Amino acid sequence: MLDVIRSLVIPGTSKIVLLSLDGLGGLPRPETGRSELETARLPNLSALAAEAACGLIRHVAPGITPGSGPGHLGLFGYDPLAYQVGRGVLEALGIEFDLRGGDVAARGNFCTVDAQGRITDRRAGRIPTEVCVKLTDRLRSIRLPGVEVLVEPVQEHRFVLVLRGAGLSGRLSETDPQALGTPPLPVRALEPAAAHTAELVNAFVEEARKRLTDAAPANMVLLRGFDRLPELPRFPDVYGLRAAAIAAYPMYRGLAKLVGMDVIKTGKTYAEEIATLREHWQAYDFFFVHYKDTDKAGEDGKFDAKVEALERFDGFVPAVRDLGPDVLVVSGDHATPSILAAHGWQPVPVLLWSRYCGADPVTAFTERACAAGTLGTLPAHHLMPLVLANALRLTKFGA
């Protein structure tokens, strides 16, 4: 489908803004029967919904709860079932590591082993991040034949290992036995083509062990979530857009970078993100702007905090509209209902405003109201083609 879209793209000068509220969707609080969106006072979003086409988007499939990776790939127009991103890759993206196509990434833990090499603490007593930084320096000096070894600290006992080179595979078993009293497991190839990568990883672990003998409690490593970075079609190439990402959190910058968007430097607050949007308005055609507070409150199970986060977001809508976008989309990467205190599988409200979006009866930006919108319930990756069409950037199919 991306190839079809690519073949229909025509140049244009229209401006597109995608405002993504992380964990946007919610569920009714039993006491009131109203969801976070239904509880919040959202005058600007309601007014926008009244002028927009509304609906619900589903990022993966019915009943499937999206992680942040699949949630964003869906928003960016990639079918998350066709482009799967593993946990090692996500950990690397979370620290904005510059992953390249073909790289194999793993989540690493420093751990403690006894004199017989048996694990006594899988997290090395959660060493301070400064110690982690020093020890990853030691690991960086490890050399393996034919590949580059990249090691980056994350936080406390966690680090990222990346192997870069030709012909690597991420289909590897984990070294973490998820239990104490036994030594780390050797990595096994889960497909024949992974045999060489498995040898390299086992050599790395052996070298790491030698370099860490005097570093107790962090005297060994565990590796999990091996994955190869999928070769994703580049967003700017597929859609013919100069695309910019504005996000205060590294994970979302990493995901945008993964599809080839320009990641613009911004501050830590949403006000700073909106200022960044304004400053770069002329330089790009497409802006992905990420809002984190809704997800944070939802994950913490704080219904009222999520309501407040929605109301704060609502206050920024006029500033975005003042820029005069041709297409304005408001949606999210997944639901985070406060009563679940976790990501949810529920479809997420979406509104799409443009001069050509068509009328629909929805006048409130809520789960229930959007369910009756003219966009219906659609896979998230069907949104980008609709966005491009509304930006008059697609020619007809079959002349």
Binding site for a copy of itself (CB under 8 A): 1, 4-5, 8, 27-28, 30, 33-35, 56, 60-71, 80-81, 84-87, 90, 225, 337, 339-340, 342-346, 355-356, 358-361, 367-368, 371-372, 374, 376-378, 382-390, 394-399
> Which backbone phi and psi does 207 adopt, to 5 degrees?
-65, -40
Q: 31 or 130: whose CB is closer to a copy of itself?
A: 31
Residue pair 92/160 in contact (Cβ under 8 Å)? The answer is yes
Q: 144 or 339: whose CB is closer to a copy of itself?
A: 339
160-to-139, 150, 221, 231, 254 alpha-carbon distances in Å? 11, 8, 11, 20, 14
* Minimum distance from residue 50 beta carbon to a copy of itself (Å): 10
255-to-47, 121, 287 alpha-carbon distances in Å? 31, 32, 14
Q: 120 or 374: whose CB is closer to a copy of itself?
A: 374
Of 131, 130, 129, 149, nearest to 141 by C-alpha is 149
Q: 237 or 262: whose CB is closer to a copy of itself?
A: 237
Q: Which residue matches tokens 């959660």?
A: 126
Q: 325 or 347: whose CB is closer to a copy of itself?
A: 347
Q: CB atoms < 10 A from the CB of 68, how many? A: 22
Q: 64 or 95: whose CB is closer to a copy of itself?
A: 64
* Minimum distance from residue 392 beta carbon to a copy of itself (Å): 8
* Minimum distance from residue 17 beta carbon to a copy of itself (Å): 17
HSE at residue 37, side-chain half, CA atoms within 13 A, is: 27
Helices (H), 221-353: 235-239, 250-258, 270-279, 293-299, 303-322
